[in-house]
Structure 1
């Protein structure tokens, strides 16, 4: 049973009702020795506490899309088939132009809370060795005959850690917010892609390639990207692609865009950070070399020193101490054609929560519409 589905919530609620009603009905009727009566009543109290905690967990999980299933919660799922050393470009010497198209079978999303129009598929990455679900939302113009020969720009949307791939559709209501704005022509139509980012048990990959452990960078920036190009009318050039993330996903979005200007033109980072070590469970943050290599500040410094500032546009938002300083650091290093826009979120806006990021959705997509094209 899914952790985020209505059946699990109703089951937990029913058990809570039973846990409350049961003691009221049998508390004084329990017979037997005193020790047996005490034990029975203690078990009823523990059952009531456990069901109450479960209901609270389900409510929080449903609101924030933290864990999709029992495998994510318990860390029993394995999404890594191989983790070879793929080299600096994350390709392992392979050329996508030499690979046949990877045509996928899509089905309606398995959670009605993501809203209408969201499709999903199970992808096995040919380059990364990672497998996982990928959700795709098509703009209202996609099936319009007037757009039948048009390609669309794409935004990969990334959640925090822990986080479900469908968090942007569930907790942030991105499809519900954008559909009417796109229909009215207020926002450019985008294809939205939400890939799995929780790949390893009890660890945040930092969207990094770590030989022997995981190739999360290549999963997101190569395999998922190419699959979308193979299956939809999506632009295949860097100027058609961008990323958006919050919290740990913000770190990933900025890092991937700066590291791969040949794949992405822009990125939005909401309440993120530059130093991977700021996420305690980050694998990249635990190794000094990986920590340095996956810090967006260092990536930008290295590109500037080589005389090749990336043609990348960043939009960074956050409160003081929660993403804002990270954006200022990047802005201070930016040299044309790199651009960095930084927005300060008031401290009283709501904190480090999906409620804050949800309100930013229309604004960040208006900004993306100016930076990318099909």
Structure 2
């Protein structure tokens, strides 16, 4: 969305530039012309300086946000956005007794995402029939998708989970995943994946931990059921878990690993960049509010408490205290057939560090997530 109500749209950016220009020019034009008692003149000049500083800060924030897409709407920014229409108790499998394969296909209307280079990213508004979540989903189709030589082929899928704050565009604008991977897909260094990034900020500025919490949110089912079904209903993709992976950074890294550990029947592999095992590490986490939920959704606890070791592969990357040690703990708790590879990285908890890892982690995903 790039309209007047969008924080990443051109109208807001242009308005910020105009206000900043006015704020800079105003003191130059009227500084010596301010009239009245000394206190009034001083106060007027102070207010002009404050206005100039405030507009400059706002312009920098809006510019950075346009580039990284942390917040896409005013509701996201001020914490009032609510994309949850219902949050029924869906049970351990997150399906609420329903069978996805028996549900009617829902054909979506897609629009091009014009501010992502390449023209291969499109967006839709998905009404999640299982989760009760309604939100935007972005989909990237690899170059081979429209190649006549591949017209009968289905493609593997990777869901992309942003950090907190973050939006569906964060991977495409901030991490520039298309710019980094598309040349590698074309020359065969990286498998051609369909890339999908759905909204994860569902309850204002609260981080859901990709969890199902009756009465609050069914974020797990939104990502692992509704979004998956939308992709298989509308594109040449299989619902075979061997053809699905999930990747995330920061809070999204926790979510990616959690979805794979929870649902080996939906995902074959996950990539966690600079993540954590304890959801309470995220200050805005919904799971942090309840000690029992926090412990239940700790990845280490989940892995050890699983009825059977999940048949999934995880690649965990990060600095010493920024994902690496958490990965080592998971690796030590894992039992066959769970496979966990841990790599220590440098560069800190930054976008640049994650961007540098993209070729490597997607090459790894190509060894774990198979084309149908």
Tell me if TM exceeds 0.5.
Answer: yes
- Residue ranges of structure 2 left out of the alignment (5+ in a row): none
Match of 1:310 in 2: 310
1:277-316 equivalences under 5 Å are 277-303=280-306, 306=307, 308-316=308-316
For residues 32-84 of structure 1, give each alpha carbon's deviation from its aligned partner in whole angstroms, at most 9, with x where no partner exists: 34344233222211210110110221233234321011111012222000001
Counterparts of 1:216 and 1:114 in 2: how far apart (Å)? 29
1:371 aligns with 2:368: yes
1:227 aligns with 2:230: yes
Contact 2:208 2:287 in 1 (8 A): yes
Counterparts of 1:114 and 1:101 in 2: how far apart (Å)? 30
Counterparts of 1:227 and 1:352 in 2: how far apart (Å)? 32
Give 1:201 shift.
Answer: 1.8
Give 1:20 shift.
Answer: 1.2
Contact 1:275 1:295 in 2 (8 A): yes
RMSD: 1.3
For residues 74-113 of structure 1, give each alpha carbon's deviation from its aligned partner in whole angstroms, at most 9, with x where no partner exists: 122220000011110001111112210011000011x514
Give 1:164 shift.
Answer: 1.2
Query: How many residue pairs are counted as aligned between the two chains?
Result: 367
Query: SS at 2:135's partner residue?
Result: strand
Aligned counterpart for 1:361 among listed residues 336, 358, 361? 358
Contact 1:134 1:195 in 2 (8 A): yes
Give 1:282 shift.
Answer: 0.6
Contact 1:150 1:233 in 2 (8 A): yes
Match of 2:73 in 1: 69
Counterparts of 2:321 and 2:11 in 1: how far apart (Å)? 39
Aligned counterpart for 1:8 among listed residues 4, 7, 12? 12
Match of 1:133 in 2: 136
For residues 322-343 of structure 1, give each alpha carbon's deviation from its aligned partner in whole angstroms, at most 9, with x where no partner exists: 0001110111112221111111
Instruction: Tell me the TM-score normalised to structure 1 length.
Output: 0.95
Contact 2:244 2:269 in 1 (8 A): yes
- Residue ranges of structure 1 left out of the alignment (5+ in a row): none
Counterparts of 1:8 and 1:201 in 2: how far apart (Å)? 20
Query: SS at 1:164's partner residue?
Result: coil
Give 1:202 shift.
Answer: 2.4
For residues 203-254 of structure 1, give each alpha carbon's deviation from its aligned partner in whole angstroms, at most 9, with x where no partner exists: 1000000000000000000000111010000121000001000000000000
1:352 aligns with 2:349: yes
1:160 aligns with 2:160: no
Query: SS at 1:242's partner residue?
Result: strand
Contact 2:80 2:205 in 1 (8 A): no
**Higher mean displacement: 193-202 or 55-64:** 55-64
Give 1:115 shift.
Answer: 4.7
1:331 aligns with 2:310: no
Give 1:292 shift.
Answer: 1.9
Contact 1:115 1:170 in 2 (8 A): no
Contact 1:136 1:192 in 2 (8 A): yes
Aligned counterpart for 2:203 among listed residues 200, 203, 209? 200
Match of 1:216 in 2: 219
Give 1:5 shift.
Answer: 2.9
1:178-197 equivalences under 5 Å are 178-197=181-200
1:63-142 equivalences under 5 Å are 63-109=67-113, 112-113=115-116, 115-142=118-145
Aligned counterpart for 2:244 among listed residues 238, 241, 250? 241
Contact 1:114 1:166 in 2 (8 A): no
